[in-house]
A and B are shown apart, each in its own frame.
Chain A
Amino acid sequence: MPQITLKDVAKRYGDVEAVHGVNLEIEQGEFVVLLGPSGCGKTTTLRMVAGLEDVSDGELKIGDIVVNDVAPKDRGVAMVFQNYALYPHMTVRQNMEFALRPLKLSSEQRDRRVNETSAILEISDLMHRKPAQLSGGQRQRVAMGRAMVRTPSVFLFDEPLSNLDAKLRTQMRKEISRLHKRLKSTVLYVTHDQIEAMTLADKIVIMRDGYVEQIGSPEEIYATPKSVFVATFVGNPSMNVFKGLVRKGRILADGFELPIPSHLSDTVGEEQEIVIGFRPSDIIPYQSDGSNFHKARIEFIEFLGGQTQLNLRLGSHGCVAEVPAAQGLVSGSDFFFNINSDALHFFDVTSGRSLH
């Protein structure tokens, strides 16, 4: 039985529907990430699971109980907020104890839980400090400690790392991953950072404009994006997309043309417009013995250490390629390349959905 079930869950503010009928199942112990640009409804969805927003429509179940009208405190969830939401007038210890207060534990039990949690998070020597005296990373740990101390069945994270600098973010990301493996708890995690999503998630839910675009493992999302949006949103640098026209067994695009792959020949018709996508890393520089190659102009080159990023002009469009470093390339010159034909993605031009 899934631990959390969302069935056609929708959120309306007045006449505006912010989240449209989300369907999602989260298994016990699973780490699920809601990923999407700001305003896509991911935080609203999380807050509905928490009970901080009312569910306008549909059914939200935790375990086998419908919790649409259950108060947040009775849902057995704990949440880590984007700004940490630590009580500024309480010490770290008081912050954690305040979370336990409604459980009415004996003082030994309470102390034991607080001490255990603080030991796991390595914040034991900060217990007497107030939040203002902590660094960003320390606050983050305390916020997690306050959630953990209640031993909830589900953890909710709302962009927990967005206020940290890049280095701390990487460190805390690993920390969260480690804790999840150790506690084996169910996690629902909201972020707009695809690296967080790819590295942490068992399952990624990609949202856009209040709709779920795709649900799948990080590998699935990357390898077989189901829409142009998912294809371009996940992966850095972004996937290159071109419009193409099907004509006489070939696909004609601005600046290059390709044969129609066999698995696609039945789904596309003559003179149909489609969208072609390929990742920058799937561009293979021209080999001297290659026969079928495309030509582009190098606009400028960015050396990124191990990789080199080429900004190309292909026909009238921009295009990005990622190639191994030190190729002896110069900007302004021509660049000959092949595209890994196994890595091509095709989408419907109107719906944006994958044609595979």
Chain B
Amino acid sequence: MAYSKKRNRNIFLIFLLPAILVLFLTTIYPMLYAGYLSFRSYDLAKPFVPRIFVGWSNYKEVLTSSEFFHTLWITLKLMVMTLSVQLVLGVGMGLLVTQRLPGMGIARTALLIPMMISPVIVGLVWLFLYFPELGYLNYFLSFLGINPIAWITSTEWALWAIAIADIWQWTPFIMMGTAAALTNLSPEPYEAAQIDGNSTWDIFTRVTLPQIKPVLISLMFLRAIDAFRIYDIIFVLTKGGPGDATEVLSMFIYRQSFTFWRMGTGAAASFVSLVVIILLIMLFFKSLNHSRRIS
């Protein structure tokens, strides 16, 4: 590639520069600003009070408040709920739509639609289904002999209501990834296993699953990172309630900043969540290198 390497490298750096600059200005700078805010007492409700330096006190407040840890716990709980169901259901659906039978192509396409829908719309249509007294979900469930559930108004079920909406939207993601990984596999190991007379379950757990595992791990990390970003659906369905039953991390930050106008505390909470995200991103990159080797 070294056709006049030195000059080309400079041109390439010029290619790279605008994107880096834009990203720096739009992410690093606000983050630094958030960092600055997190050490200040900044109350938007009292605009004339100077933003005095308060040291670590915002962090202390966040890290010692039981509310913050409750929030973290809810985020984690929601993550486990959605990820586990999405994984099992998604792999199952992936196996289903890769069967070589007529009509599978159309079904596969139709099942991809939920992912492309705006999360707000997802929230709204599930709100329609959950709606107290009126919603259709309880009506449908009554045919299965299930008593009416107070989906969004009970502390017991509100988190499930959110999880179900998220599961509905993102299970197709796991399905799609599984289907893609399955179609990339070579048929020989299967033919060998079938000739050897292994059972279907054996073939799935010993031949299929190990081969698509790296891909699944990458997909799960992507979902886990997204779980920290979930916001719109909760905003529509419960706004963090009832009480604080569905107050995930991003909701906590929003409430601190825009409901109580405590920008400093909100910024400090943001930074704590950034640390967790960075950890997840690093794990994702690691898993990516593994799955790259497969595909």
Contacts and interface: CB of A to CB of B under 8 A. Distances in A.
Q: Would A and B touch once assembled, by the CB under 8 A criterion?
A: yes
B9 to A, nearest CB: 11
A154 B257 CA distance: 71
A55 to B, nearest CB: 10
Interface residues of B, number: 5
Nearest to A53: B2
Interface SS of chain B = loop
A78 B105 CA distance: 48
Interface string A181-209: 00000000000000000000000000000
A351 B1 CA distance: 36
A81 to B, nearest CB: 14
B3 interface: yes
Nearest to A52: B3
B5 interface: yes
Interface residues of A, number: 7
A52 B4 CA distance: 8
Nearest to B4: A71
A69 B1 CA distance: 15
Interface string A83-101: 0000000000000000000
Interface in A23-70: 51-54, 69
A72 B1 CA distance: 11
Interface in B89-140: none
Nearest to A70: B4
Contacts of A52: 1-3
A109 to B, nearest CB: 27
B53 to A, nearest CB: 49
B3 to A, nearest CB: 5
A354 B4 CA distance: 41
A71 B3 CA distance: 7
A54 B1 CA distance: 9
A53 B3 CA distance: 6
Nearest to A54: B2
A72 B2 CA distance: 10
Contacts of A71: 3-4
Interface string B1-17: 11111000000000000
A54 B4 CA distance: 7
Contacts of A54: 2, 5
A69 B3 CA distance: 10
Nearest to B3: A72
A70 to B, nearest CB: 9
A192 B1 CA distance: 23
Interface in B1-54: 1-5
A74 to B, nearest CB: 10
Contacts of B2: 52-54
Nearest to A71: B4
A72 B5 CA distance: 11
Interface in B76-94: none
A342 B3 CA distance: 50
Contacts of B4: 51, 69, 71-72
A82 to B, nearest CB: 16
Nearest to A73: B3
A47 to B, nearest CB: 8
A239 B237 CA distance: 83
A52 B3 CA distance: 5
A63 to B, nearest CB: 20
A333 to B, nearest CB: 45
A54 B5 CA distance: 7
B265 to A, nearest CB: 51
Contacts of A51: 3-4
Contacts of B3: 51-52, 71-72
Interface string B153-174: 0000000000000000000000
A110 B4 CA distance: 28
B48 to A, nearest CB: 62
A106 B194 CA distance: 66
A315 B4 CA distance: 57
A98 B226 CA distance: 47
Given A51-B3, A71-B3, 11 more contacts: A51-B4, A52-B1, A52-B2, A52-B3, A53-B2, A54-B2, A54-B5, A69-B4, A71-B4, A72-B3, A72-B4
Interface of A: 51-54, 69, 71-72
12 contacts: A51-B3, A51-B4, A52-B1, A52-B3, A53-B2, A54-B2, A54-B5, A69-B4, A71-B3, A71-B4, A72-B3, A72-B4
Enumerate the 8 nearest inter-chain pairs by beta-carbon distance, A residue then B residue, closest first: A54-B2, A71-B4, A72-B3, A53-B2, A52-B3, A54-B5, A51-B3, A52-B2
